[in-house]
Chains A and B, each alone.
Chain A
Amino acid sequence: MLNPSQKLNPKLWDKDVEQAPIRKGFGEGLLAAAESDERVVGLCADLTESTQMHLFKKKFPDRFIEMGVAEQNLASVASGMAAMGKIPFITSYAMFSPGRNWEQIRTTICYNDMPVKIAGSHAGISVGPDGGTHQAVEDIALMRVIPRMVVISPCDAIEAKKATELSVKIHNPVYIRLAKQNTPIITTLETPFEIGKAQVFFVSIDYDAVSIKKGRVGIVATGALVYKALQAARKLDAEGILVKVLNLATIKPLDTEAIETLAKETGGIVTVEEHQVAGGMGSAVAEHLAQTVPVPIEFIGVQDQFGQSGTPEELLSHYGMGETDIIEAVKRLLERKPF
Chain B
Amino acid sequence: MSLEYSKVKELELKANDIRQSIIQMLLEAGSGHTAGPLDMADIFTYLYFHALKHNPKNPTWKDRDRLVLSNGHICPVLYSTMAHAGYFPVAELKTLRKFGSRLQGHPHREWLPSLETSSGPLGSGLSQIVGMALADRIDNGRTSGKQFYCLTGDGELDCGQIWEAAMLAGKEKIQNLTVIIDRNNIQIDGFTEDIMPLNPLDDKWRAFGWHVQEIDGHNFDMIDDAVGQAHAVFDRPSVIIANTIASKGVPEFERRFEWHGKPPNKEEADLALRELRTWRGKIKGEHE
User: A residues engaging B (CB < 8 A)?
Assistant: 41, 62-63, 65, 67-68, 70, 72-73, 75-86, 88, 103-104, 107-108, 111-113
Contacts and interface: CB of A to CB of B under 8 A. Distances in A.
A82 B135 CA distance: 8
A15 to B, nearest CB: 48
Contacts of B269: none
Interface stretch (B15-23, B120-128, B212-220): B120-128
A108 B134 CA distance: 16
Interface residues on B, range: 20 to 34
Interface in B52-111: 68, 108-110
A80 B130 contact: yes
Given A72-B160, A104-B124, A112-B109, A86 B168 contact: no
B110 A76 contact: no
A72 B131 contact: no
A83 B131 contact: yes
Given A72-B127, A85-B139, 19 more contacts: A63-B138, A67-B168, A70-B161, A70-B164, A73-B130, A79-B131, A80-B68, A80-B128, A80-B132, A83-B117, A83-B132, A83-B135, A84-B132, A86-B135, A107-B120, A107-B121, A108-B117, A111-B118, A112-B110
B167 interface: yes
A77 B116 contact: no
6 contacts: A76-B131, A79-B117, A80-B134, A107-B118, A107-B119, A108-B118
Contact of A108 (B128, B136, B138, B168): B128
Contact of B135 (A73, A85, A111): A85
B223 interface: no
A70 B170 CA distance: 14
Which of A62, A76, A85, A107 is most buried by chain B, counting CB atoms within 10 A of its CB? A76
Given A72-B127, A84-B132, A84-B136, A77 B121 contact: no
B121 A76 contact: no
A112 B132 CA distance: 14
A80 B127 contact: yes
B131 A77 contact: yes
A104 B161 contact: yes
Interface of B: 68, 108-110, 116-121, 123-124, 127-136, 138-139, 160-161, 164-165, 167-168, 172
Contacts of B110: 111-113
B234 to A, nearest CB: 20
B134 A77 contact: yes
Nearest to B132: A80
Contacts of A65: 134, 172
Contacts of B108: 111
A168 to B, nearest CB: 16
B161 A76 contact: yes
Contacts of A68: 164, 167-168
B117 A72 contact: no
A83 B128 contact: yes
B137 to A, nearest CB: 9
A93 B141 CA distance: 31
A41 B138 contact: yes
